[in-house]
Amino acid sequence: MNVHDGVFARLRAPFLLVTGGKGGVGKTTIAVNLALELARAGEKPLLVDLDLGLANVDVLMGLATPRTLEDALAGACDFADCVVAAPRGLYVLPASSGVADLAVLDDERRGRLTAGLAELSERFDCVIGDSAAGIGADVLAFAAQADCVLVVTTPDPAALTDAYGMIKALDELARKRGGDVPTPELLVNLCDGVDQAQFVGRKLRAVCERFLSRSPRLAGWLPRSRAVRESVSTQQPFVLGSRAPLENHCLRALAEHVQRLLPTADARLASLKG
């Protein structure tokens, strides 16, 4: 069993994977604040830290995590025992940091993880996964499971190059599977304004259309922001406060876009039964 077999358990709830080709683009910050905004909007999301070797969702939220995915994968507890409550009715499934053995899962453990997530997902309206950066086997496997993949990038040329590399790797995965992997959506972070975000989105889309025959859409953007930097250092997600009105507006627009993009839980279940 490998990433190309497509035989891992499918999640019962709609699944959005937040990922990025390059580290340091704000991927985890986006995943945390997006999940909190979806919870505020009335959804019941589960935020899963899928950066298994260098997890930090719990750090960004200041959460105590008595058990993590490391314990569940070792058989010391059930996956449900690792879930912790967060603000606004959000629930978080944390992972561990600095555990080299979890940085790359073998097929057996990846299968157990997806089976555990599939069972757990029945309790939630949607699942938001925060993946590791790059195009490793685990990232591609989770992307293949997702209803939607959100690639986070910045205007930095290296970040854009790596975002293209991520989309290219997913396109190659679809070809090897003989099926399809949804074309990722783009989130441009650390922008000077909406004009720059749209320019970056058009530039990356043009390259993807030319070389991959894929047309990734711009799902949203976030400004270069002192308030966001401070929220990371204080472990208080910025959507929980009122000191970042533009940032909150951008996150709310992103959440509304994601709600329209993801299938409903009922539609997801119907597709699995069909």
Q: How many CA atoms lie within 13 A of 191 on its CB side?
A: 22
Biggest CA–CA distance in the chain, Å, is 50
Q: For residue 44, what are the CA distances in angstroms to 3, 41, 104, 116, 125? A: 29, 9, 29, 18, 5
How is residue 185 written in tokens?
A: 């959506």
Containing 93, the helix (H) or strand (E) segment is strand 91-93
**Percent of the chain whose pLDDT exceeds 90:** 79
What average pLDDT does the chain have?
92
Residue 6: the pLDDT is 45
Q: Are 214 and 174 in contact (CB under 8 A)?
A: no
Q: Which CATH superfamily is domain 15-266 in?
A: P-loop containing nucleotide triphosphate hydrolases (3.40.50.300)
How do 91-93 and 218-223 pair as beta strands? unpaired
Residue 4: the pLDDT is 39
Higher pLDDT, 253 or 181: 253
- Tens of pLDDT, residue by residue over 94-153, are 998 887 778 788 889 999 999 999 999 999 999 999 999 999 999 999 998 999 999 999
Q: Are 201 and 168 in contact (CB under 8 A)?
A: no
Residue 178: the pLDDT is 78
CA distance 129 to 18: 6
How is residue 113 written in tokens?
A: 């993880």
Residue 255: the pLDDT is 97
Least confident of 57-66, 125-134, 180-189, 258-267: 258-267
Q: Exposed e or buried b for every residue in 53-66, given b needs 16+ CB within 10 A?
A: bbbbbbbbbeeebe
CA distance 166 to 184: 9
CA distance 35 to 45: 7
Confidence band, pLDDT 50/70/90 cuts, at residue 2: very low
Residue 118: the pLDDT is 94
Task: Give the mean model confidence (pLDDT) for residues 212-241.
Answer: 95
Confidence band, pLDDT 50/70/90 cuts, at residue 274: low
Higher pLDDT, 163 or 104: 163
Confidence band, pLDDT 50/70/90 cuts, at residue 269: low
Q: Exposed e or buried b for every residue in 196-235, given b needs 16+ CB within 10 A?
A: bbeebbeebbebbeeebebebebbbbbbebeebeebbeee
Residue 7: the pLDDT is 47
Task: Give the mean model confidence (pLDDT) for residues 4-32.
Answer: 86
